[in-house]
A and B are shown apart, each in its own frame.
Chain A
Amino acid sequence: MKVMAQMAMVMNLDKCIGCHTCSVTCKQAWTNRTGTEYVWFNNVETRPGRGYPRTYEDQETWEGGWTLNKRGRLQLKAGGRLKNLFTIFSSPKMPSIDDYYEPWTYDYENLTNAPLQEHTPVARPKSLISGKDMNVSWSANWDDDLGGSADLATADPVLAKVSEQVKLEFEQTFMFYLPRICEHCLNPSCAASCPSGAIYKREEDGIVLVDQDQCRGWRKCITGCPYKKVYFNHRTGKAEKCTFCFPRIEVGLPTVCSETCVGRLRYIGLVLYDADRVLEAASEPDETKLLAAQRSVLLDPHDPEVQRAAEREGIPRDWVEAAQRSPIWRLIHDYEVALPLHPEYRTMPMVWYIPPLSPVVDVVTETGEDGEDAGNLFAAIDRLRIPVEYLAELFTAGDVAPVTAVLQRLAAMRSYMRDLNMGREGDASIPAAVGMDEQSMYEMYRLLALAKYDERYVIPSAHAEQAHSLEELATECSLDYEGGPGMGGSGPFGEGSGPGFSDPIAVENFHMLQARQTADTVADPATRKARVNLLNWDGKGAPPGLFPPRADDEADGTAAGVGAEVPASAAPAEVQPRPAGGSDAGPAGDGTAPR
C-alpha cells in the first residue's frame, strides 16, 4: 500500500443554475491573455448538448483516454508509445480551432472614429486568430440552455448511446448544467501522452500541472485527455491546463471557480488513495465495474492502518486529519452520492458529481402528485428510466443502478427533511429504505444544504517546510513567463520567448489574501508587524505600515503606521494623505467610513 493524498472536488449538479460565474472568474484569473482566448479551464455545458470542444466525448473520433488492448492491458486509446512518437509531426486526432471556436473581439474604435454618416456605426466582430472580419457562429457555450433542441441535442455523443425512442421522450423531459474543470485524474492520460514528460502529477496533492519550460508543443496531451481539458496556447506554442488554482490551494484557499460559485455547489477536500492499486483498478475489464474499482482505490482515513501507512509515506498528520474531515470522502464513501464523470475513460477522474434530482421532482409535481413524497419519488425515479440512462452514460459507464441509488438517496433526503421542517416527527423508514440511518441522513442534508465555507472547503495548507519547494514548482511550471498573466508583447523568437521571470504568483500574496479574507476586521490590526501588500489592499482603511512611521511617532513610542482603528482626532496634526475611503469621514459623511 502506497498512500498518496489527492485534492479532489465534488460538484452538486442539483444546485447549478448555469450562471457561468465560475467560467468567467476562472478566465479572468488564468486565461485572460493572447493565445488563450479560446481556453476555458472551467466551462459549463448544457446537457444534452455537444460540449466543449464539440463532441469531445466521442472517443471513437478523438481517441482520448485509455483502453484495454487485446491482452487486457491498459493502453492509451490513441496508440502505444511508438505510434505516438511516429505521429508527432502531425497529431492525427487533435481538434482544430473550428471544433472549439474562433475567438473574436469587436472593433470598438469604429464607434468613436467613424465619420459622420447616415447609419449608426457598428462594432464589427474581428477574429482574434486572423484579425479579419468574421461571422460569429459558435462559441464556448453557444448551445447554452438549448439542451432539448433537436439539431443540437442529436449531436450529443452521450445521447447517441441512448436509444432513439428514449431520446425523443428525454428531450421533452429536462436539461441540466455540467460545469467542468480538469479532472486531475489519478491515472492521467494527458501526462502519459506527453512525449517530453512535461505534464506531471504533484506528489503532495495530486494536482496535474504542465511544466511550461519543458513543454515542447508536441500536442499529444490534447489528444490524450478524453475531457479535452488540456489546451494549446496558440501564441506561445505550449500546452496549458487547469491548475486547480494551486497557489491558492497551497495556502488553504479554495479554487477561484469554487470561491465564486453562486450556488455554492462545489466542495473541495482531500482523499487518500492507494497508488499501487490505481493501475489494477483502471484495468478492470468490465466498464460498468470501473466506478466500484475507482471507489475501492480510495482509502479510509479513519483506518489506523491507513494512517500508519500515510505516516510512512511522509503525509503530514494534519493532512490525514483533513482527509478525515473531507467533505469529498463523506460524499463519495459515507453517503455514496458522488459519481465520477465518465469512468469508462479509465483515467480515474477526481472531480466527482452529484447527479441532478430536481427534474424528477418537477415531473412528479406536474402530474399533480405530491412531488416530495418518498413513495411517489421512488416510483418516479424508477419509471423515469430515461434521464437515469442518460446520467448513467455520463457517470457510471451506462450502469443505471448506482445512479438510481444516488437519486433515491437524494429523494429520500427531501422527503425526510420535509417532515422535520414541517415540525413533524422524522420518519425513520425513509432513510432505512435507502440504506441510511436518520443521523447520517440529517448530516448529509447539512452538508448538501447548509454547509458553510469551512465545511465545504477542507483544505490543509501546504506545510511550511514544503512551501519553498512548492513555490519552486510554481515558479517553474505555471504561467509565470513573459506573456503570462499581466504580461504582453513577444520576444525575439516569437510570443513569450526570452527571459524575464517576473513572478506573478507569489505564494506570499495568497497567504495575505487568505489572512485578509478570514480576518474579522478590515485591515489586520492584530499584528503590528503586518507588511503591506498593496495587491490585496481593498482600499478600506490605512493598514499599518502603509506609510513610513513619522519621527514624532517614534518619540512617543507608538507603533509604525496609523491604523484604521485609530480615531483621526488621536493622531497629531494630520499631514499625511489618506486614501479615499479611509478612516476619515469624507464629504459624504459616514458613507465613506469603513464598514
Chain B
Amino acid sequence: MTSTADTILWVVIPYVCLAFFVLGHVWRYRYDKFGWTTRSSQLYESRLLRWASPMFHFGILAVFLGHVMGLGIPKEWTEAVGMTEEIYHFLAVSIGAVAGVCTVVGMVLLIYRRRTVGPVFSATTPMDKVMYLVLAIVIFLGMWNTIAGSILNLGGHYDYREGVSVWFRGIFRFDLHPELMAEAPFGFQAHGMSAMLLFALWPFTRLVHVFSVPLGYLVRPYVVYRSKSSRLGARAPRAGWERVERTRETSSRR
C-alpha cells in the first residue's frame, strides 16, 4: 500500500515539476527569447574552460544517453535482444563510470573556475548559483549511487531497472507506482527528488541552452539570406509597430 506521503513525493511532486519544466520553457521562450543563450564566459577565461567544458559536456551527454538506456528502455527489451543481466551491468557500470568521472571532474573544474576567476564570478547570476548547487547535488548523488550501489554493492543489491525505471516510465504512461520509489534505497530517492527539483528550475536557468543544440547546422546552406517575403509568413508583425494615427480629437481641432 502507498501512503499519502509517498503519493505526494513520487506522484504529485514529479508531475508538478514536469509541468514547471514544460510550461516554464514555453513561457521562457515567449518571454525571454533574447535571454535564451549559453551565456558563455569564454571571453574572460579560456585556459581552464578549454579542458573543463568539453569534458563536462561530453560526459553529461554520455550520462544522458545512459539514463535513456537505463530509465527509458524496459528490462524485457534488452533481454529480448539477448543482453544478459551481466553484460548490461558491465556496460552500464564501465561506460557510466567513465562518463561520470568526466562529468564530475569537468564540473568541479568549471565551478572552481567560476568561483576563482574574478570576471567569471562577477558575471554569475544568483540563478546560476542555485542551478550549480542543484546540478552538483544531482550529479554527486548519481555518482554515489553508481559507486556505492553498483560497484561496491553497499547496502545490498538493488536493481533500479525493476524499481526506479518502472516508476519513471509510469509517470509518462499514467501507470503510477509510487511504492516502487518508496522501497528504493535512499540514494536513489534523493537522486530522483533532486533531479525533479532541477527539472522544475531548468526553464529559469541558463540550462535552456540544451534545447538549442544546433543540429540544423548540419543540413542548412552555409549562408542564410532573409527577406521580407520569407519572414512575413513566418512571424506575425509585432504589435505596436503600426503607425499611430492622429486621434480624431486632435485632427478635428486643427
In the assembled complex, the Cα of A49 lies from the Cα of B118 at a distance in Å of: 31
In the assembled complex, the Cα of A424 lies from the Cα of B206 at a distance in Å of: 73
CB contact under 8 A between A493 and B205, given known A84-B217, A503-B241: yes
CB of B209 within 8 A of CB of A216, answer: yes
Does B80 sit at the interface, judged by CB under 8 A? no
CB contact under 8 A between A195 and B214, given known A212-B34, A217-B39: yes
Does B38 sit at the interface, judged by CB under 8 A? yes
CB of A469 within 8 A of CB of B57, answer: no
Across the interface, which residues of A come within 8 angstroms of B216, CB to CB? 197
Does B170 sit at the interface, judged by CB under 8 A? no
Residue of B nearest to A235 (CB): B123
Across the interface, which residues of B come within 8 angstroms of A85, CB to CB? 214-215, 217-218
Q: Tally chain A residues at the interface, Cβ within 8 Å.
A: 73
Does B76 sit at the interface, judged by CB under 8 A? no
Does A199 sit at the interface, judged by CB under 8 A? yes
CB of B125 within 8 A of CB of A493, answer: yes
Q: Please tell me which stretch of A170-178, A425-433, A470-478, A576-584 contacts chain B, meaning at least 4 of its Cβ atoms lie within 8 angstroms of it.
A: A470-478
Does A243 sit at the interface, judged by CB under 8 A? no
CB contact under 8 A between A203 and B231, given known A90-B54, A496-B34: no
Does A378 sit at the interface, judged by CB under 8 A? no
Q: Please tell me which stretch of A126-134, A287-295, A387-395, A414-422 contacts chain B, meaning at least 4 of its Cβ atoms lie within 8 angstroms of it.
A: A126-134
Q: Please tell me which stretch of A104-112, A184-192, A365-373, A514-522 contacts chain B, meaning at least 4 of its Cβ atoms lie within 8 angstroms of it.
A: A184-192
Q: Please tell me which stretch of A91-99, A156-164, A263-271, A319-327 contacts chain B, meaning at least 4 of its Cβ atoms lie within 8 angstroms of it.
A: A91-99
Residue of A nearest to B216 (CB): A197
Min CB gap B107→A, angstroms? 13
CB of B35 within 8 A of CB of A496, answer: yes
Partner of B228, one of A130, A466, A481, A501: A466
Does A549 sit at the interface, judged by CB under 8 A? yes
> Mask for A286-326, Cβ within 8 A of B = 1, else 0?
00000000000000000000000000000000000000000
Across the interface, which residues of A come within 8 angstroms of B206, CB to CB? 493-494
CB of A472 within 8 A of CB of B45, answer: no
Across the interface, which residues of A come within 8 angstroms of B42, CB to CB? 90-91, 94, 96, 219, 232
CB contact under 8 A between A191 and B223, given known A196-B214, A494-B125: yes
In the assembled complex, the Cα of A508 lies from the Cα of B214 at a distance in Å of: 36
Q: Tally chain B residues at the interface, Cβ within 8 Å.
A: 58
Min CB gap B240→A, angstroms? 8
CB of A200 within 8 A of CB of B225, answer: yes
> Mask for B180-220, Cβ within 8 A of A = 1, else 0?
00000000000000000000000011100100101111101
Across the interface, which residues of A come within 8 angstroms of B153, CB to CB? none
> Mask for B91-119, Cβ within 8 A of A = 1, else 0?
00000000000000000000000000011
> Mask for A60-103, Cβ within 8 A of B = 1, else 0?
00000000000000000000011011011111101011000000
CB of B224 within 8 A of CB of A191, answer: yes
CB contact under 8 A between A197 and B35, given known A90-B53, A234-B43, A501-B238: no
Across the interface, which residues of A come within 8 angstroms of B237, CB to CB? 468, 472
Does A498 sit at the interface, judged by CB under 8 A? yes
CB of A191 within 8 A of CB of B222, answer: yes
Across the interface, which residues of B come within 8 angstroms of A149, CB to CB? none
Does B248 sit at the interface, judged by CB under 8 A? no
CB contact under 8 A between A96 and B46, given known A85-B218, A200-B225, A202-B226: yes
In the assembled complex, the Cα of A550 lies from the Cα of B107 at a distance in Å of: 70
CB of B254 within 8 A of CB of A236, answer: no
In the assembled complex, the Cα of A4 lies from the Cα of B36 at a distance in Å of: 33
Give the secondary structure class of A's interface.
Answer: loop
Across the interface, which residues of A come within 8 angstroms of B40, CB to CB? 217-219, 232, 237
CB of B122 within 8 A of CB of A131, answer: yes
> Mask for B114-143, Cβ within 8 A of A = 1, else 0?
000011001101011000000000000000
Min CB gap A357→B, angstroms? 35
> Mask for A559-578, Cβ within 8 A of B = 1, else 0?
11000000000000000000
CB of A493 within 8 A of CB of B127, answer: yes
CB of B127 within 8 A of CB of A234, answer: no
CB contact under 8 A between A192 and B35, given known A132-B118, A468-B237, A493-B204: no
Residue of A nearest to B126 (CB): A492
CB of A196 within 8 A of CB of B212, answer: yes
Partner of A203, one of B33, B118, B227: B227
Does A491 sit at the interface, judged by CB under 8 A? yes
In the assembled complex, the Cα of A243 lies from the Cα of B215 at a distance in Å of: 27
Does A238 sit at the interface, judged by CB under 8 A? yes
Min CB gap A317→B, angstroms? 18
CB of A202 within 8 A of CB of B227, answer: yes
CB of B231 within 8 A of CB of A197, answer: no
CB contact under 8 A between A213 and B224, given known A97-B44, A219-B42: no
Across the interface, which residues of B come within 8 angstroms of A191, CB to CB? 222-224
In the assembled complex, the Cα of A200 lies from the Cα of B119 at a distance in Å of: 31
CB of A197 within 8 A of CB of B220, answer: yes
Partner of B44, one of A200, A217, A234, A508: A234
Partner of A195, one of B41, B217, B223: B217
Can you list 11 A-B contacts with CB-CB less than 8 angstroms, sorted by A residue number? A90-B42, A90-B53, A197-B214, A197-B216, A197-B220, A201-B225, A216-B36, A481-B34, A497-B32, A499-B31, A549-B253
Shortest beta-carbon contacts, A-B, top 6: A497-B35, A469-B228, A195-B214, A203-B227, A192-B222, A237-B39
| Chain B residues packing against A (C-beta within 8 Å) | 31-46, 49-50, 53-54, 56-58, 118-119, 122-123, 125, 127-128, 204-206, 209, 212, 214-218, 220, 222-228, 231-232, 235, 237-238, 240-241, 243, 253-254
Q: A129-B118, A203-B226 given; name 15 further pairs at CB < 8 Å.
A: A89-B53, A90-B50, A94-B46, A97-B44, A130-B118, A196-B214, A203-B227, A216-B36, A232-B42, A470-B228, A472-B232, A472-B238, A476-B238, A549-B253, A560-B253
